[in-house]
Amino acid sequence: MADAPPPILSLVGVSKAFGGVQALQDVDFTLRAGEVHGLVGENGAGKSTMMKIIAGVHADYAGRFLLDGREVRFRSTRDAHAAGIAMVHQELSIAPDLSVAENVFLGTQITNRLGMVQWRRMAQEAESLLARLGVHADPRQQMGDLPIGMQQLVEIARVLFSGARIIILDEPTSALSPPEIARLFSALRHLRAAGRSIVFISHFIDDILSIADTVTVFRNGRKIMTVPAADTTKGGLIQSMIGRGHAELEESYTNDIRLAAPAAGPVVLEADGLCLGRSLRDVSLSVRAGEVVGIYGFMGCGQAELARVLFGKMTPERGSIRVAGRRLRRGGTAGARRAGVAFVPDSRRAMLFHQEPVYKNTSISILGRLSRLFLKPAQERALAQRQIEALRIRPPRVDALLGALSGGNQQKVALAKWLTYPPKVLVLSEPTRGMDVGAKDEVVKIVHGLKAQGLAVVIVSSEPETVLSMADRILVLRKGELVREFADEIVSKDRLLEAA
Amino acid sequence: MNDDITSASTAHPAPARRGLGAIARSQMRNIAPFLTLIVLIVFFSVVSPSFATLGNVGNILTQVSVTGIIAAGLTFVILCAEIDLSVASIANATGIAVAYFTLQDSYVNIANVPVPGWVAILLALVACSALGVVNAAGLVVIGIPSFIMTLAMMQIAAGISALLVRGQIAYKIPALISTLGSGSVGGIPCIVLVAAFVLLLSHLVLTYTRFGRYVYLVGSNREAAENAGVNVKLILGAVMVISAVCSGIAGMLGVAHFGSAQQNEFDTYLLDSIAAVVVGGTSLFGGRGGIGNTIVGLFVLGVLNNGLDHVNIDSFLKILIRGLILLLALIINVYAQRLRETSAD
């Protein structure tokens, strides 16, 4: 942007606290008409909090909020909508049972004078709006039947073409493939040319640099800097994001990585010809003891289903799974656990009991070993105490309610559950999703430790950095098929993305 | 990302700062029913001289026994965040079944199949277990929500009752059942002892066994339990069968207690048993509560029902008062859940 257009929105000295935690501290922020403004920062840096203030989600904050030079204070998202501000939240918020067209016009159905919905017009307009994002879907189709990336694009389309003049996108690209991202960016450029302002929050710094005009960096609830995108580099941004010498770590993800020579251990996990609807087509793989196999693919390519099948949560239509030579039959997750498979799902909520004490969370998977019929609480607590000390869980009390622990400590409890009696196979689904660089580093260390103990580890992820940083061997999944294997060779993020 | 901030903010209630207030808030579901019970006892003792007598305590205990046995089984189901609406119907069908297999007097016009007493009891137990297995299969194999599945079973069991007695009333039942249901040992009615035994056994199972722990954890977070390798379907199936068997036992003893087996004899017990569990503070969302709560709930209802008989009150108003008390308990139940979530999550 050569000349600086006038600011359309500015925040002056805005602070916001949740309970005792200061999420935003004295932040100034300016958004100009016709700019794409990138926001970067680690988890919890305050990016989303600030955007939620702008979008009217949080009404309770300190500081001034100026829109077109006049001070405003939104009480609800309705107020923000009325002022022409719309936001796409990080979590997909769609109505899966409604049609695509209804989702595009959610809350703004096209009606005639009598208030009756004009279905045909709505379908036609939805189709043409989606085509602008390169989505060719039948507008009458049920939303839930679309692949996840397309669902995300439909949600983005709803906001982009809602007529809002300020559009906030929170992690819009996480579920999108590179061609989809390219189409989204071209749509954003059109909107920018039309004078709309766009705020773009992302963990993917490459995406930020390729679309944003201006970049603002957050750290620990404070604004660190605002710079023109052209004047900065990826390394520079990462440096100011983390504020310490962690840049090498991020570097190591992007450089070429030499994969290890094949492991020599015995084959522990063997899957043969797994088929599951449209999600998995004839997937075969084998993992040796002491080997970490990464399975990479774009979101919705079937990798989530593969992880579930390996842990017995879903029964494949065809194909077999063997653990240490023994066939895994339809025994559900309990059968898989007995066979020696452990599973860490992608969300903490799906593996922890927030209202129970720590020791009940760590003992659940080993109760069968501790007792045939009656519980042995003393032993349970002793084992939990050992795990707490080994993993340095804080507070170090077995009776602390899990919900009272911080996120990182909860994560450790989730892992502790499987570590008392190490399993033969560990399946990790999206182990680093939404984590900051430091937390990712911890996970990498834990996985390397387990590998050294001789576990067969399977990491299923749609983030290339995740598999690159941990795996010895990488399998690429595309639309339910294994299309490429990287082993004992040099690999990089580009090559991985290309293969998918 | 923002989730992390919000969870971090509420994640440190700082154990040291947790004062009496916080403890009271998190224990609300246990304290509120107990206070209710004490208030009711004090109230009825003051307004009615005949209420606080030893004889009346015995009355109350006897009156809550059948409900107590049903509620013990139902507690397992509700702890798993499921529901069983067929308890009263299964009780009725099992009570009728045990009479059906006993030789009736000649004036009772039922085409029954007399067998020895212990066989009759065994057959009745098999019958209620089978109905429980059908509930379990509908829930975990086919995937019908328990609310709907047991609604159907309520009708099915009522149908079985109707077919077996065809509008008649049976009076004869095996001697053992007769003793347990209407006899007494040392002045204490046997039915009270049986109820106490069933409640105690349920409490021990829920508190001290692996199965009991799984019941709580499945109710607390079903997905997490599954992801930890717990056989969730087996647990859910088992609680449905336990509930049906408890109902069956209650049905047999109830028939002995009432002195006859006939249709619709247990209709009020569905509401009473669910109310006992919920009034006691066991969470309808699963994972919280237990037999202790159920016992308190039983006495709240028992004291209320009994006490209203001791004061001069319009008998039609009694029904309304019971409904209002149940509503109040439900409000406390939901409110306690919310308090707990905000203080612990």
pLDDT at A259 over 90: no
Do A205 and A344 have their domain in common? no
Closest A-chain CA to B338? A355
- Band (B11; pLDDT cuts 50, 70, 90): very low
Q: Chain A closest CA to B197's CA: distance in Å? A: 19
Closest B-chain CA to A357? B344
Boundary (domain end) residue, out of A206, A233, A254: A254
Closest B-chain CA to A21? B9
User: Contact B224/A352, CB-based, under 8 Å?
Assistant: yes
A147-206 residues touching B, CB cutoff 8 A: 170-171
**For the CA atoms of A336, A341, A347, A350, what is the dihedral angle to 10 degrees?**
40
pLDDT at B57 over 80: yes
Return the pLDDT at A2. Answer: 47
CA B157 to chain CA centroid, Å, is 18
pLDDT top residue among A104 and B225: B225
A87-146 residues touching B, CB cutoff 8 A: 90
Q: Chain A closest CA to B117's CA: distance in Å? A: 33
Nearest to B9 among A19, A46, A360 (CB): A19
From CA B265, how far away is CA A434, in angstroms rounded?
58
Query: Shortest CA distance to B40 belongs to which of B54, B28, B56, B51?
Result: B51
Do A218 and A282 have their domain in common? no
User: Contact B287/A313, CB-based, under 8 Å?
Assistant: no
Do A289 and A370 have their domain in common? yes
SS3 at position B93: helix
Condensed to tens digits (0 to 9), the pLDDT of residues B261-270 reads 888 889 989 9
Looking at the DSSP assignment, which residues form a beta bridge with residue A341?
A425
- Phi and psi (nearest 5°) for B166? 50, 50
Residue A437 with chain B: CB contacts under 8 Å: none
DSSP state of B86: T
Mapping DSSP onto H, E and C, the string for chain A reads CCCCCCEEEEEEEEEEEECCEEEEEEEEEEEECCCEEEEECCCCCCHHHHHHHHCCCCCCCEEEEEECCEECCCCCHHHHHHCCEEEECCCCCCCCCCEHHHHHCCCCCCECCCCCECHHHHHHHHHHHHHHCCCCCCCCCEHHHCCHHHHHHHHHHHHHCCCCCEEEEECCCCCCCHHHHHHHHHHHHHHHHCCCEEEEECCCHHHHHHHCCEEEEEECCEEEEEEEHHHCCHHHHHHHHHCCCCHHHHHHHHCCEECCCCCCCCEEEEEEEEEECCCEEEEEEEEECCCEEEEECCCCCCHHHHHHHHCCCCCCCEEEEEECCEECCCCHHHHHHHHCEEEECCCHHHCCCCCCEHHHHHHHHHHHHHCCCECCHHHHHHHHHHHHHHHCCCCCCCCCEHHHCCHHHHHHHHHHHHHCCCCCEEEEECCCCCCCHHHHHHHHHHHHHHHHCCCEEEEEECCHHHHHHHCCEEEEEECCEEEEEEECCEECHHHHHHHC
- Output the average pLDDT for chain A: 82
- Band (A3; pLDDT cuts 50, 70, 90): low
Do A289 and A247 have their domain in common? no
Residue B223 with chain A: CB contacts under 8 Å: 349-350
Which pair of tokens denotes residue A284? 């075969």
Answer whether residue A78 is part of any domain.
Answer: yes
Q: B317, B112 in Cβ contact below 8 A? A: no
Condensed to tens digits (0 to 9), the pLDDT of residues A102-134 reads 888 887 777 778 778 788 888 888 888 888 887
User: Contact B9/A18, CB-based, under 8 Å?
Assistant: yes
From CA A28, how far away is CA B121, in angstroms rounded?
79
From CA A220, how far away is CA B178, in angstroms rounded?
73
- Band (B205; pLDDT cuts 50, 70, 90): very high
Query: What angle do the packed helices B54-79 and B190-208 form, to 10 degrees?
Result: 30
Q: Chain B closest CA to A290's CA: distance in Å? A: 23
Q: What is the mean pLDDT of residues A223-249?
A: 75
Lowest-confidence region among A129-133, B157-161, B192-196: A129-133
Is the ipTM higher than 0.85? The answer is no
Q: What is the mean pLDDT of residues A183-199?
A: 89
- Band (A435; pLDDT cuts 50, 70, 90): low
From CA A373, how far away is CA A362, in angstroms rounded?
18
Whether residue A406 lies within 8 A of chain B, CB to CB, comes out as yes
User: Contact B210/A374, CB-based, under 8 Å?
Assistant: yes
User: Contact B227/A351, CB-based, under 8 Å?
Assistant: yes
The total of structural domains in chain B comes to: 1
Do A154 and A292 have their domain in common? no
User: Contact B9/A364, CB-based, under 8 Å?
Assistant: no
pLDDT at A379 over 90: no
Query: Shortest CA distance to B241 belongs to which of B132, B163, B116, B108?
Result: B132
Q: Chain A closest CA to B341's CA: distance in Å? A: 8
Answer whether residue B296 is part of any domain.
Answer: yes
Q: What is the mean pLDDT of residues A265-293?
A: 87
The total of structural domains in chain A comes to: 2
Whether residue A356 lies within 8 A of chain B, CB to CB, comes out as yes
User: Contact A49/B5, CB-based, under 8 Å?
Assistant: yes
Nearest to B229 among A90, A336, A434 (CB): A336
Answer whether residue B10 is part of any domain.
Answer: no
- Band (A4; pLDDT cuts 50, 70, 90): low
Q: What is the mean pLDDT of residues A346-371?
A: 85
CA A485 to chain CA centroid, Å, is 24
Parallel, antiparallel, or unpaired for β A214-219 and A36-40? parallel
Do A40 and A176 have their domain in common? yes
Amino acid at A29: F
Angle at A43 between CA A42 and CA A48, to 5 degrees: 105
Strand order in the sheet with A70-71: A21-32, A7-18, A62-67, A70-71
From CA B274, how far away is CA B294, in angstroms rounded?
10
Do A405 and A467 have their domain in common? yes
Answer whether residue A469 is part of any domain.
Answer: yes
Answer whether residue A332 is part of any domain.
Answer: no
Return the pLDDT at B4. Answer: 39
User: Contact B8/A407, CB-based, under 8 Å?
Assistant: yes
Return the pLDDT at B9. Answer: 37
Do A222 and A351 have their domain in common? no
Lowest-confidence region among A221-230, B32-41, B170-179, B324-333: B324-333
A11-30 residues touching B, CB cutoff 8 A: 17-21, 23
Answer whether residue B124 is part of any domain.
Answer: yes
pLDDT top residue among A198 and B6: A198
Parallel, antiparallel, or unpaired for β A267-276 and A318-323? antiparallel
Residue found by looking up tokens 């609807």 in the block: A277
Condensed to tens digits (0 to 9), the pLDDT of residues A53-64 reads 998 888 888 899
Q: A135, A148 in Cβ contact below 8 A? A: no
Residue B227 with chain A: CB contacts under 8 Å: 311, 313, 333, 343, 345, 350-351
Residue of A353, A359, A394, A409 to mutate, testing the B interface (most B Cβ within 10 Å of its Cβ)? A353
Q: What is the mean pLDDT of residues A395-400?
A: 85
Name every residue in B having a CB less than 8 A away from some CB of A: 1-2, 4-13, 15, 208-210, 212-214, 216-217, 220-221, 223-234, 287-288, 340-341, 344-345
Answer whether residue B7 is part of any domain.
Answer: no
Whether residue A399 lies within 8 A of chain B, CB to CB, comes out as no
SS3 at position B165: helix
Q: Chain B closest CA to A386's CA: distance in Å? A: 20
Closest A-chain CA to B234? A334
| CATH number assigned to the domain comprising residue B201 | 1.10.3470
User: Contact A375/B213, CB-based, under 8 Å?
Assistant: yes
Residue found by looking up tokens 């722990």 in the block: B213
From CA A51, how far away is CA A197, in angstroms rounded?
13
Boundary (domain end) residue, out of A220, A254, A288: A254
Answer whether residue A333 is part of any domain.
Answer: no
**Domain span holding position B208:** 23-344
CA B90 to chain CA centroid, Å, is 13
pLDDT at A25 over 70: yes
Residue of A61, A349, A354, A406 to mutate, testing the B interface (most B Cβ within 10 Å of its Cβ)? A354
Query: What angle do the packed helices B210-220 and B232-258 form, to 10 degrees?
Result: 110
Condensed to tens digits (0 to 9), the pLDDT of residues B81-127 reads 999 999 999 999 999 999 999 888 877 777 778 888 899 999 999 99
Whether residue A332 lies within 8 A of chain B, CB to CB, comes out as yes
Boundary (domain end) residue, out of A219, A254, A289: A254
Q: Chain A closest CA to B151's CA: distance in Å? A: 27
Q: How far is CA A363 from CA A183, A389, A414, A415, A466, in A?
A: 48, 15, 10, 11, 28
Answer whether residue A411 is part of any domain.
Answer: yes
Answer whether residue B3 is part of any domain.
Answer: no
- Output the average pLDDT for chain B: 86
Nearest to B1 among A90, A342, A397 (CB): A90
Return the pLDDT at B3. Answer: 38
- CA-based torsion, B285, B289, B291, B296: positive or negative: negative
Max mean pLDDT among A387-396, B115-124, B144-153, B313-322 falls in: B144-153
Closest B-chain CA to A19? B9
Whether residue A48 lies within 8 A of chain B, CB to CB, comes out as yes
CA B148 to chain CA centroid, Å, is 18
Condensed to tens digits (0 to 9), the pLDDT of residues B278-327 reads 888 888 888 889 999 999 999 998 998 888 888 877 878 888 887 887 78
From CA B231, how far away is CA B219, in angstroms rounded?
13
Do A317 and A442 have their domain in common? yes
Return the pLDDT at A469. Answer: 82
Residue B344 with chain A: CB contacts under 8 Å: 354-355, 401, 403-404
Answer whether residue A265 is part of any domain.
Answer: yes
**Domain span holding position A70:** 7-254
pLDDT at B137 over 50: yes
Which pair of tokens denotes residue B156? 């099915």
Query: Shortest CA distance to B294 belongs to which of B135, B128, B76, B57?
Result: B76
- Band (A247; pLDDT cuts 50, 70, 90): very low
Residue of A25, A219, A333, A374 to mutate, testing the B interface (most B Cβ within 10 Å of its Cβ)? A333
Answer whether residue A2 is part of any domain.
Answer: no
Residue of A355, A360, A419 to mutate, testing the B interface (most B Cβ within 10 Å of its Cβ)? A355
Do A244 and A109 have their domain in common? yes
Query: Shortest CA distance to A411 belongs to which of A426, A427, A397, A391?
Result: A391
A·B CB contacts under 8 A: 141
Answer whether residue B131 is part of any domain.
Answer: yes
Return the pLDDT at B12. Answer: 40
Return the pLDDT at B345. Answer: 42
Residue B11 with chain A: CB contacts under 8 Å: 403-407
SS3 at position B209: strand
Q: What percent of chain A has pLDDT over 70?
A: 90
Parallel, antiparallel, or unpaired for β A197-201 and A36-40? parallel
Q: A139, A63 in Cβ contact below 8 A? A: no
Do A460 and A367 have their domain in common? yes
Answer whether residue B94 is part of any domain.
Answer: yes
| CATH number assigned to the domain comprising residue A17 | 3.40.50.300
Lowest-confidence region among A29-33, A170-174, B286-290, B330-334: B330-334
Answer whether residue B5 is part of any domain.
Answer: no
Q: Chain A closest CA to B13's CA: distance in Å? A: 7
Q: What percent of chain A has pLDDT over 90?
A: 5
Do A231 and A271 have their domain in common? no
Nearest to B2 among A48, A355, A364 (CB): A48
Closest B-chain CA to A428? B227
pLDDT at B76 over 90: yes
pLDDT at A69 over 90: no
Whether residue A440 lies within 8 A of chain B, CB to CB, comes out as no
pLDDT at B5 over 50: no
Q: What percent of chain B has pLDDT over 90?
A: 49
